[in-house]
Amino acid sequence: MKMKIFIDTNILISAAILPDSVPARAVLKATSYPNIGITSEYNINEMIRIFYKKFSNRLSSLESFLSGTMFSLEIMPIPSYVEESEQNIRDIKDRPILRAALQAGADFLLTGDKDFLESGVYPPKIINASEFLKL
């Protein structure tokens, strides 16, 4: 069954740093046929910013991950309109991510972020990497 999976920044970062981890396996599943892996420009920029700030000694991991993954991801721009369901997301910085996932028509938002996981927002179904791998 073909699914559209929007991948949040924390999953991308974990996959880049730990290539044998659960998040890395989830990214591989999300970006492999018949699934469609999606993220946004916002997530990629956030990932790069976080790597430079917190993991500057691991920039080669970032470069390797991005060069291997970017071709298998759809990259969405952030829509400028506001979605009503955004109000359920506590962290204002996460709201553009939900907006992009909705615009992409994602079936799932793959994340480890408690603000998303505890939001009660649906659609998309918000799921962590372990749960996603069980699908």
Q: Per the structure block, which two tokens stand in for 39?
A: 């993220």
For the stretch 20-43, pLDDT in tens is 999 999 999 999 999 999 999 999
CA nearest to 43, candidates 66, 20, 64, 25: 66
Quick check: 12 and 24 in contact, CB under 8 A? no
Q: Per the structure block, which two tokens stand in for 120?
A: 């009660």
Average of per-residue pLDDT values in the chain: 95
For the stretch 46-65, pLDDT in tens is 999 999 999 999 999 999 99
* Domains along the sequence of the chain with CATH: 4-134 (3.40.50.1010)
